[in-house]
Chain A
């Protein structure tokens, strides 16, 4: 009598890729807008990016139902924080909250691969990258999702982040100017959509800087 395997899974993968790059005074967060299941496309215009606080934006790929639930949880906790402290949460604070929220469901995880980007209290760009159960790290750039294996090596080559183990402590921000970072993101997504079937349709690019949050779009391959 062989142990019976589950014939139903609570999870599904809706595909897609996300990228975030931190600069000296800006942060670029981008994700494609395709939502798929198996070999089918559910919609070509789905936003994977969510504004959690004034200067804090999260992009998530994976199972979008879990992503939606996670975003609602974080929004609710942020509202409570605002009532209690009379101010918006800073990006590093939100980063810790996200990590705790994910680990809370360690034994029935949110199938959500997140990338958090924004400005810290001093106005410098910061990017935090997560796994599905809340392990996180502050980095200069990151990518998650189905295209991450195609995107990360190229970003490593162009932007190589210093290791957090090196001394003296080096800053994890890229030397790029905002326009160059956006150009890099567009190139990287165009290349990923050539080779990854789950990435395509459109990119949504969100830029967080001192003046506020700005959104732009770019068309990608639709096949």
Chain B
């Protein structure tokens, strides 16, 4: 019997080989590192002329803020944007992937991308991974068929809504929307309402914070208002400043020469030409 191991090319998708080992380690108290989640507030609403998307800008690793000003509104197509909540790597990867797929599709068809195309590509991918790709998305855009707004859940289900919120701050934001949303909002009213909903998430949810990002998409084009509101400046900076004179203390210096120094006394001859 030959003992050679047949080299298989790596299969696509996730490898669950280490699950049993991880379970055993967890029982012994060795926990896996936590994922960086965006513990977020993301919202979208449909107004008179199109769609407005909004997001906060805090990224957390457990109880610590790892990015105070990250971008959660991702580009999908010139007329389609997508907000992402959940594991940061998953939202980035899945929106990038579908964005490039949409571009190839645009070249193939010669037409502007439709929101339902992005929706189907995203939901198929997420369903395929059975919820392990932890991305909760708010997809919005304007195409030939009109303005559209959808929510996509990590397991692959979708909803089509006039206004939507996702993330840990979704309840705080939805409370604002349910109180104040009406059909046929103007652009300024829409931006004000989205900003209010995101602020509600920022101040009442500990997983969301820092600034408000807004993206307005209409038939004419899009407007990405990065840091539209900055309601959380640093509260105190010492006027005298701080110095850091204490460098790392040198406790002991010991030099061990690796080789004896050889001094060359004679000069070598010039290279001979062959």
Contact = CB atoms under 8 A, between A and B. Distances in A.
Interface of A: 15, 36, 38-41, 146, 150, 157-158, 160, 183-184, 186-187, 189-190, 193-198, 218-223
Interface in B172-207: 202-207
Interface string B235-260: 11110101010100000000000000
Contacts of B205: 39-40
Interface in B118-166: none
A183 B64 contact: no
Contacts of A158: 242
A194 B63 contact: no
A219 B207 contact: no
B60 interface: yes
Contact of A221 (B39, B208, B235, B244): B235
A190 B246 contact: no
B206 A197 contact: yes
A144 to B, nearest CB: 15
14 contacts: A146-B63, A157-B246, A189-B236, A190-B236, A190-B237, A196-B65, A197-B64, A220-B235, A221-B234, A222-B203, A222-B232, A223-B202, A223-B203, A223-B210
Given A157-B244, A197-B60, A223-B232, A40 B238 contact: no
Contacts of B39: 39
Contacts of A183: 238, 240
Nearest to B244: A157
Q: Categorize the interface residue count of chain B.
A: 20 to 34
Contact of A193 (B58, B168, B235, B244): B235
B228 interface: no
A30 to B, nearest CB: 12
B235 A190 contact: yes
A86 B39 CA distance: 55
Grouping DSSP codes into helix (H, G, I), strand (E, B) and loop, the A interface class, with mixed when no group exceeds half, is: mixed
A196 B61 CA distance: 10
B50 interface: no
Contact of B238 (A39, A146, A187, A218): A187
Contacts of A38: 206
A186 to B, nearest CB: 5
Nearest to A36: B206
A36 B209 CA distance: 15
A42 B205 CA distance: 11
A34 to B, nearest CB: 9
B64 A194 contact: no
Contacts of A223: 58, 202-203, 208-210, 231-232
A104 to B, nearest CB: 28
B168 A39 contact: yes
B105 interface: no
A190 B236 CA distance: 6
